[in-house]
Structure 1
Amino acid sequence: MLDLLPSAFTDEAASRIDALAAAALTHELICYPKPGLVSLVDAGSHDDMDASTFHASIAALAGYFGAMASAGAAGADFAALNVIGRAAEARMLAATGGVNTHRGAVFSLGLAAAAAGASTQHRSAAAICRAVSDRWGPDIRAAGSLANGRTHGAAVRSRYGAPGAREEAAAGFPTVIGHALPAFRMARRAGAPLNDALVQALFTIVSVLEDNNLLYRGGQAALEHAQRLALDFLGSGGILARDGVARAISIHRAFVAERMSPGGAADLLAVTAFLASVEEAHPAA
Structure 2
Amino acid sequence: MEYSEYFEKHRRREVSLEEVLEARDRRVERQSYLTATHRTPLISFTLNMPGGVKKTSLSSFFFNDRLTRLKMRLRAMGADIEEEIVTSGPAGDEAILAISYLSALSLKVLSVDMEERSVAGRLLDLDVIDEDGKPVKRTAVGAEPRRCLLCDRQASVCGSSRAHSLNDLTGKVTGMLEHAVYGMLVDEVVSMAGKASSFELMVSMKPGLVTYTDSGSHSDMDRFTFVKSQASLLSYYRDAFLAGRDDSDKAIVNLRLEGMEAEQRMFRATDGVNTHRGWIYIAGILSAAAGRISASMLRGDALSNLENEEPLQNRTVDMAALLSEMSASIAHALEESLGSSFFENTRKAMKEHRSVPPAVTENSTSHPHLAGVRNFQVASFPRFESASHPHLAGVRKEAVSGFPSIINVGVPILTRALKRGDEENLAGQRALFALLAAAEDTTLVKRGGSTAIPHIRRYVLEALDLEDEHEAAALICSALALGEEALHAHLKTLSEYFIDRRLSCGGVADLLAGSYFARDLCSLLERIAAHC
* CA-to-aligned-CA distance 1:102-150 (integer Å, 9 cap, x gap): 0111111111011111111278232122112224414325639973574
Alignment of 1:211-226 (within 5 A): 211-226=441-456
| 1:60 equivalenced with 2:240 (yes/no) | no
Aligned pair in 2 of structure 1 residues 242, 203: CA closer, same or farther (>3 Å)?
A: closer
Q: 1:110 aligns with which of 279, 284, 290?
A: 284
Question: Which residue in 2 is equivalent to 1:137?
Answer: 332
Gaps of 5+ in 2: 1-63, 67-176, 298-316, 360-390, 467-477
The structure richer in helix per residue is 1
SS at match of 1:47: coil
Instruction: Report what 2:483 is aligned to.
Output: 241
**Amino acid across the alignment from 2:221:** M
Cα 1:107–1:228, aligned 2, differ >3 Å: closer, same or farther?
same
Quote the offset at 1:187 in angstroms: 2.3
Q: What is residue 80 of structure 2 aligned with on the other side?
A: none
**Of the two, which has the highest radius of gyration?**
2
Tell me the distance in 1 between the aligned counterparts of 2:351 and 2:460.
26
Say if 1:16 and 1:66, in contact at 8 Å, map to a contact too: no
Structure with more relative contact order (C-alpha pairs < 8 Å, separation 6 or more) = 1
Residue identity (%): 32
Task: Return the offset for 1:281.
Answer: 4.6
Equivalent of 1:154, from 354, 358, 365? Answer: 354
CA distance in 2, matches of 1:36, 1:282: 34
Cα drift, residue 101 of structure 1: 0.1
Query: Are 1:35 and 2:207 counterparts?
Result: yes
In 2, Cα distance between the equivalents of 1:82 and 1:139? Answer: 7
5+ long unaligned stretches in structure 1:
none
Match of 2:253 in 1: 79
Aligned equivalents of 1:175, 1:194: Cα separation in 2: 19
How far does the alpha carbon of each residue in 1:81-108 deviate from its partner, in whole angstroms, 9 at most, with x for none?
A: 0111111111110000000000111111
1:23 to 191, 195, 200: 195
User: Cα gap change, 1:141/1:41 in structure 2, threshold over 3 Å: closer, same or farther?
Assistant: farther
Tell me the residue number matched to 1:127.
Answer: 322
Residue pair 2:290, 2:525 contacting (<8 A) in 1 also: no
Find the aligned partners of 1:165 and 1:143 in 2 and give their Cα distance. Answer: 16
Structure 2: distance between partners of 1:59 and 1:189: 29
Alignment-mate amino acid for residue 98 of structure 1: G
Between stretches 235-244 and 96-105, larger displacement belongs to 235-244
Task: Name the structure with the higher strand share.
Answer: 2
- Distance in 2, matches of 1:67 and 1:199, equals 31
Q: Contact 1:153 / 1:212 at 8 angstroms: preserved in 2?
A: no
Summarize deviations over 1:196-250 as a string: whole Å, max 9, x none.
1121111111112121011111112222222123223333954740412233223
Partners in 2 of 1:233 and 1:18 — Cα distance? 37
1:45–1:136 Cα change, 3 Å: closer
Where 2:435 maps in the other structure, the secondary structure is helix
Structure 1 residue 54: Cα displacement: 0.3
Q: For 1:242 and 1:102, how far apart are their aligned partners in 2?
A: 29
Tell whether 2:516 aligns with 1:273. yes
Pick from 395, 402, 405 the counterpart of residue 172 of structure 1.
Answer: 402
2-structure distance, mates of 1:156, 1:188: 37
What is the RMSD computed on CA atoms of the aligned residues?
2.8
